Amino acid sequence: MAEPQEPKQELNQELKKGNKVSIFIGLMLVIILIQSVKIYLDYKEKVEVKEQLATTEEDLGATMQKLKSIETELDQKIVEIEKLGGDVKELQKAKAEVELELKRNNKRSAKALQELKDRVEGYEELLKLKDDEIEKLKHVNTQLFSENRNLKTKQNKLSDSITQLSKGKDELATKVAIASQLKAENISIKAVNSKGKERESPFKNRQLQKLKVEFNLAENKVAPIEGKKIIIRVIDENNQVIFDVAKGSGTFIYNGKEEFYTAAQEILFDNTKQRLTYFYEKGSEYTSGKYTVEIYSSDYKIGAGMFEVK
């Protein structure tokens, strides 16, 4: 009766071996499945990154093409307005800025690309304004030509009128240029400590981890909607500008002289009393004393404020 047990034991051993093989095959299938999913996800991520880069490059290419078209239009309008006796300083300044952008490296961050788009919108708005100016100049020149042809007997008087008109245009252009200058209002200068708490001047150095400067750009119906660079300068009692190129500081031209600035922002001025905020972290203690904060738009001052460190 003991002999039939041997085949039964052999059968059990075979079943155990079969189970081990099945488990091994199952594990291999799971590993293969996981690897397949990982390969698919990596491929999908690479495709998405490539598509994003392609979109950014396409966007940048379109923007640069717009800049080239704007450069051509600026050249045309400079020639046309000069022939009509108009002022082309603003157009020449815009052309210099466009030429500088076209010479720059075309690899830009998403933020830099958006800033460039904002400036392009400003240039396009400037060109539209100049179209209106050209029509007015043509109308004035047509009237002058007609009067000159039909009233030859009053040529000397007409010549004086033209001279006065030209002088009046120059005076008006100067007044418009002054009137279109931006102005900073509601200027606020505060100290921000490491916990984000804000304090009014005077400050202590332990309260001054960051300097916060805020202000509004006042409404100005004369000023065109265009890209602007708004600069702040923090100046100590010895008339020395606090700056650090590694933290965004740089230089600009003011009254024909190169000057340092503390911080700057590129914006699209849209005449909505927009509020700008600047944070500057000096990285070292401020010397005790009174400090002046000057605010500039391009090459002219638009406001100032003061704070004191004890």
Span 97-127, pLDDT tens digits: 888 877 776 666 667 767 777 878 888 888 8
Domain of 190, CATH number, reads 2.60.40
Same domain, 154 and 28: yes
1 belongs to a structural domain: no
pLDDT higher for 39 or 151?
Answer: 39
- Angle among Cα 269, 274, 277 to the nearest 5 degrees reads 105
C-alpha angle 110-214-310 in degrees, rounded to nearest 5: 125
pLDDT band at 177 (very low <50, low <70, confident <90, very high): low
Closest-CA residue to 293 (of 283, 280, 284): 280
Other CB atoms within 10 Å distance of the CB of residue 161 = 14
Predicted local distance difference test score (pLDDT) of residue 94: 85
Secondary structure string (H, E, C) spanning 9-53: HHHHHHHHHHHHHHHHHHHHHHHHHHHHHHHHHHHHHHHHHHHHH
Looking at the structure of the chain, the number of domains it has is 2
Give the end of a domain, one of 179, 210, 237. Answer: 179
* In a shared domain, residues 167 and 210: no
**What pLDDT is stored for residue 259 in this prediction?**
95
The two tokens of residue 8 are 């039964």
Q: Has residue 265 got a pLDDT over 70?
A: yes
pTM: 0.46
- Shared domain check, 135 and 32: yes
